[in-house]
A and B are shown apart, each in its own frame.
Chain A
């Protein structure tokens, strides 16, 4: 048993991951929401399942994809929000016995579409700036979760006018110049807009029974249309009918303006694949053609059945609608199914968790040098890498693109590259260093990716590519190699971090470990030089292909060049004997700063052609990271007597070996 537990641990995680891929079904006599979630619609130029729309909208509004329905109230009571007295808090991390009921993202979306009054009572709007809370007079309301506060639409309703005014003012300020208060205001505004648009996407918010309403409207169309024509031509017309017809049509015209997703698919012959319409537009077209389009009726039937709590009607309407799409939109339906499976699989989240556990095991293996711990860590890292890779490939398949298409996916790919290299190092050296590095870098980059996804403007991580980036060839060559260049430079820096930390704070950095670390760093820097150089030049060639200049000194280009030059400096300094082991480590640590600057810092300048990946909250983190790296370099420069690993490998007795590479050449 003692010998086999690393395999057991591996098996548990592997089974759990495999289980997440198992298709799940709703109970036959309940709303088939899982099936509804797979229906396709078009948002932000991309056909995606309702499931993705729900998740991405929740990310914009709430910052995550949960909608808990229960929690803690005053006097330690537990229950549904509406039964509790404030202050309300979500489940605390130590309340292991509580499992709050939650809305699945798609369930929430369906509710917003069809039962807006109930959706208005869900605490989903994230506000955390104290000044903004004060301004909106919300301090005493809302649900708290580890310092963040969530509010319902009803809480915010009295402040809508105020929000409108303030956001208009703030909207005129450039994004990078906004204060934290203004940013928080704009993000709430963004969330509110998304929510209001969602509420008016399927039916006008006030309409209770949309299906019946549409039947009445359809009957009115011929006469109503005639009345409107007559009125416009200045002829006599039926005033009562005219006004009745307008009372239907006006909300639809507003929906045509407001709707967020395009729900009506291009099923007419002669329509292009991209000719989706929102419900409002489809109804406006319907007035001209004299009938309400079938897809609109289908969505209306679904909404009415859900709002009235009739699962049987809902399920029937659902299967009819799906069958009607099966012919003309077979690919979209299939893609919807695949993407919602991807959403359920959560490969990057899953591998992130496994990386953490592996990291803990690998770090622990250094404390008591248990081979088993090390083996377990290595196996878990490999498993996480398999899941990470599967996610990457799945994503590429869904998008039909190379792995890196935006800042989010660059983080995922940087992590992937670094983990692969780390696993290779572990296979060669078998001393736990590769596992620690791989799991730590994998974990950190996936956390970064997670945060990038949660702060993106559309919430969508698979957004469409603007025209200049719309080329798989260059995305596959330039972007991929430059990203692996980043990854390996980070990896070298991380190995150096281990060297310094273990050397200064522990006695575990013996000469053998130090040597192998130094060889790893050297090898990785070589690799990084190759990839970042080739990637940078390929970027120049792409620029030459697309706007006629090889090099424009744009910040992002310069950032990439900085990495190349820095790697070249490390190699030449090493070859020239200007630095030895310790110096190599310090240079590699500084490489972290150079890479972080190139990856994120250049985007923060807000100039140049590459500033599409702008994000604002990250500047603080970049600075913290840089300071931490400088501190490590400071430690790395301490004389030997401050190093716990003592009269160590760097200076002193290692002198001759450190300089060894130069000797043969000088001779």
Chain B
């Protein structure tokens, strides 16, 4: 039984089936991006175990069931590894195939590592601005900052994912409880005067049930959640703060606004905000200058680059670096890329990537490339040697004798 299982797991037939399924998955996953957006399609098709239902070419296919990227990747990994332990016998003639497969295994493991371990965030800097954190692309957090400490701030962050439940939120460091009364995963805020409230309401704006801070002064437009890769959702919520059984009031918090709002508890001031999740660093970046060159007479970008000052007190470091297209800064196990900029050319956006397995594709590419070259050279030499022995058969006149040179050429294959 286990023998048969091993045989199946190591078979070439399984390899081909997996590759074909991979082909189908990638094709469908690509088409789905038109509908679902790059990011969502990625998560649903490639970073998943199984896919149920899809919309392709505008046609709904709820019956479609496919193994996801994780399933195919891991079975392929098992298939390859088992095949090497059971079916393959090491010979020099097969060294190329071994190298190639090793490279593929490395690539698959490396991508698994990337998937589990890597984080991406962005650092938006205005010229002259200094920051010691980057902001997440998708996640938001509800934070409370104790401003009453003399030297530093005490920050309590609650992930946005806890908010849709609209329950009561508690944290040991918070001397109060928070209740989410309203929550909009994507929204747009606007100030309103006495006369336009009605017309705004007609367009779908609602008054948030908040009686403190900016709450009474703004209206919220709930908008559908977006999925495209280059756009993000702006969540808003109304939270009620209560301490010792007494309700302190309710506030509107939103990722759209940076307005400062605070609640006073036991004489201590706690600022609150719903904001893009921050990743703090032990060092700070200051944007000294951002330049954006265009080709003369066009809007075509020629070059954009940021001159950044890096200050790291723990290493006694203070230096200037230039980050530009195709030339990232690798620092502290992270890479900082010139990703984007804002109109006016004074604001740069750096992409911050932490990916411990970033080197694996380099190695895999080398292994597979060399492996394939070695293997095909072995074939080619064998083929040339066989051709050299019998005279080349002129086309059209040849009858018989074909099996002779042909066999030799293909014996080398595996």
Contact = CB atoms under 8 A, between A and B. Distances in A.
Interface in A458-499: 463-464, 466-468, 470-471, 474
Given A467-B325, A569-B20, A661 B410 contact: yes
B202 interface: no
Contacts of B308: none
A369 interface: yes
Interface string A29-55: 000000000000011111000000000
Contacts of A274: 295-296
B22 A512 contact: no
B20 A575 contact: no
B296 A42 contact: yes
A546 interface: yes
Nearest to B339: A547
B19 interface: yes
A517 to B, nearest CB: 10
B297 A432 contact: no
Interface string A586-602: 00000000100100001
A513 B406 CA distance: 12
A20 to B, nearest CB: 31
Interface string A555-593: 100110110011011001111101000000000000000
A65 interface: no
A513 B376 contact: no
B303 interface: yes
B358 interface: yes
B358 A544 contact: yes
Contact of B297 (A42, A540, A608): A42
Is the contact region of chain A dominated by helix, strand, or loop, or is it mixed?
helix
Contact of A548 (B13, B328, B399): B328
B117 interface: no
B381 interface: no
Interface stretch (B161-169, B232-240, B363-371): B363-371
Contact of A573 (B16, B31, B335): B16
Given A44-B297, A430-B394, A464-B300, A549 B353 contact: yes
A538 B364 CA distance: 10
Given A467-B325, A541-B362, A605-B33, A569 B16 contact: yes
Interface string B14-38: 0110011011001101110110001
Given A471-B326, A533-B372, A544-B358, A46 B395 contact: no
A442 B134 CA distance: 51
B398 A512 contact: yes
B403 to A, nearest CB: 5
A654 to B, nearest CB: 9
Interface in B335-378: 335, 337, 339, 351-353, 355, 358, 361-362, 364-365, 368-369, 372-373, 376
B392 interface: yes
A529 B372 contact: yes
Contact of B413 (A433, A548, A575): A575
- What band does the interface of chain B fall in when counting residues whose beta carbon is under 8 Å from A? 35 or more
Interface string B375-414: 0100110010001000011111011001100110111011
B395 A578 contact: no
B151 interface: no
A562 B16 CA distance: 14
A276 interface: yes
Among B295, B327, B355, chain A packs the most CB atoms within 10 A around the CB of: B295
A464 B302 contact: yes
Given A467-B303, A549-B353, A562-B23, A657 B30 contact: no
B365 A526 contact: no
Interface in A604-651: 605-608
A549 to B, nearest CB: 7
B321 interface: no
Nearest to B387: A428
A547 B394 contact: no
Contacts of A552: 38, 42
Nearest to A508: B396
Interface string B287-302: 0000000111110111
A661 B26 CA distance: 31
B33 A608 contact: yes
Contact of B409 (A519, A538, A550, A559): A519
A568 B19 contact: yes
Contacts of B413: 574-575, 661
A467 to B, nearest CB: 4
B396 A431 contact: yes
A44 to B, nearest CB: 6
B395 A516 contact: yes
Contact of A572 (B16, B294, B326, B368): B16
A272 B146 CA distance: 54
A262 interface: yes
A664 B188 CA distance: 70
A510 interface: yes
A512 B326 CA distance: 51
A550 B111 contact: yes
Given A276-B297, A554-B38, A608-B38, A657 B19 contact: no
Nearest to B20: A569
A274 B161 CA distance: 52
A565 B18 CA distance: 10
A118 to B, nearest CB: 27
A219 B194 CA distance: 62
Contacts of B15: 572, 576
Contacts of B42: 552-553
Contact of B361 (A433, A511, A544, A657): A544
A530 interface: yes
A537 interface: yes
A18 interface: no
A262 B297 CA distance: 8
A512 B38 contact: no
Contacts of B335: 548
Nearest 9 CB-CB pairings of A with B:
A45-B295, A431-B395, A576-B12, A548-B353, A512-B398, A537-B365, A661-B410, A530-B372, A467-B301
14 contacts: A42-B296, A43-B297, A275-B296, A463-B300, A513-B395, A537-B368, A541-B365, A550-B358, A562-B26, A565-B26, A568-B19, A569-B16, A602-B30, A607-B38
Given A569-B16, A605-B33, A660-B403, 7 more contacts: A527-B376, A547-B339, A548-B351, A550-B355, A553-B41, A565-B19, A568-B19
